[in-house]
Amino acid sequence: MYPEYMVAPIREDLTSAGFEQLMTSEEVEKVLSESEGTVLVAVNSVCGCAAAKARPALKMAVSAADKRPTKLVTVFAGMETEAVAKAREHMLPYPPSSPSIALFKNGELVHMIERYHIEGNDLVRIVDNLKGAFEEYC
Domain membership flag for residue 56? yes
Q: What is the CATH number of the domain that holds 105?
A: 3.40.30.10
Residue 97's domain comprises: 22-137
Domain membership flag for residue 106? yes
- The predicted model gives 21-39 an average pLDDT of 93
Which of these is catalytic: 47, 109, 112, 123?
47
Does 138 qualify as catalytic in the annotation? Answer: no
How confident is the model over 32-84, as pLDDT tens digits? 997 689 999 999 999 999 999 999 999 999 999 999 999 999 999 999 999 99
Task: Please tell me what DSSP assigns to residue 34.
Answer: -
Domain membership flag for residue 9? no
Domain membership flag for residue 45? yes
Domain membership flag for residue 125? yes
| Interatomic CA distance for residues 114 and 98, integer angstroms | 7
Into how many domains does the chain fold?
A: 1
| Interatomic CA distance for residues 105 and 65, integer angstroms | 17
Which of these is catalytic: 14, 31, 49, 79?
49
| Interatomic CA distance for residues 28 and 23, integer angstroms | 8
- The predicted model gives 99-103 an average pLDDT of 98
Q: Which of 73, 97, 65, 92 is nearest to 23 (CA)?
A: 73
Domain membership flag for residue 118? yes
Domain membership flag for residue 66? yes
Domain membership flag for residue 68? yes
